[in-house]
Amino acid sequence: MATRVDGQGMRTGSGGRFFLNSAFVMVAVVVAGFSTQVAMGRSSFAAPLLVHAHAVVFMGWVAIYLVQNLLVVRGNRALHRRLGWIAAGWMVAMVVLGVAVTLAIVRRGQVPFFFHPLQFLIFDPMTLFTFAGLGAAAIVRRRQTEWHRRLHFCGMALLLGPAFGRLLPLPLLAPWGFEATLVPVMLFPLAGVVADLRRSGSVHPAWGWGMAAMVGSLLVSNAIAYSPVGTAIYAGVTAGTPGAAVDPLALVPPPAMGGPVTGRL
């Protein structure tokens, strides 16, 4: 595969195997997290159409990300570019469906019992907006391969939070569930930093921007959620729905202790 030097003096053909192998690991995390839910009976194919559409689109993105890395390693840049424009539109659908599912869960008063409802309402969309922002930046930098692949990598890593949330014992980590899932998520860009150091002795600046966006999404989410602005947003979203009766900053009892069944539509 041909190489060239981007604006940071790094070879654009280097490190392809790291990104491909990481993509396989990311796919494995997603499959493990969500298949565990099915095996334990926590997910049902009887879910509403909105949930199925959300699942298809998000799993489709996982497939697109893996295929894009395969195409790069195999040197098929023409198909990679064509699929990339499809992926750009795909991200829009992901944001729309992801936000719609979050709103539906909050309005039904079915936020998982180990999350504060208001934090859930703010954090999930913020994660998607950050993912889309990283993706948009990657598209802008598409001619600078080392920026492009690292920004997309950070966006994909950020989406692993829900999968890790299904693998970690979040009921034991309440109310720090979102913070807990961010820890394993951040291991991916940190692995990228290590890979850069081992390969070239320097770290590409895209990792710093990507990780700042990832951590920043959590900090901004919490700043909004635990403020009067967040309370007003929750009241507006849940007005006239069962979610309005739920304390936005309290944890409900788990189902085993008489609490409602949560986390389902």
pLDDT of residue 5: 40
CA–CA separation, 241 vs 191, rounded Å?
44
Alpha carbon separation from 224 to 120, 190, 214, 228, 252 (Å, rounded):
11, 27, 16, 8, 21
Tens of pLDDT along 33-63? 988 877 666 666 667 899 999 999 999 999 9
Question: What confidence tens digit (pLDDT) does each residue in 184-219 have?
Answer: 999 999 999 999 999 999 999 999 999 999 999 999
Q: How many other β-carbons are positioned within 10 Å of the β-carbon of residue 215? A: 14
Report the C-alpha gap between 148 and 142 in whole angstroms. Answer: 5
- Residue 41's pLDDT is 64
Among candidate residues 206, 250, 237, the one with its CA nearest the CA of residue 124:
237
Rama region for 201: left / alpha / beta (φ>0; ψ in -120 to 50; rest)? left
What is d(CA 1, CA 107) in angstroms, rounded to the nearest whole number?
51
Q: Which residues contact 152 (CB under 8 A, 6 or more apart)?
A: 65, 68, 134, 135, 138
- The answer to whether the pTM exceeds 0.85 is yes
Cβ neighbours of 67 (radius 10 Å)? 15
Q: 109-151 pLDDT, tens per residue? A: 999 999 999 999 999 999 999 999 999 999 999 999 999 999 9
Cα–Cα dist 257/263, whole Å:
16
Q: How confident is the model at residue 16 (pLDDT cuts 50, 70, 90)?
A: confident
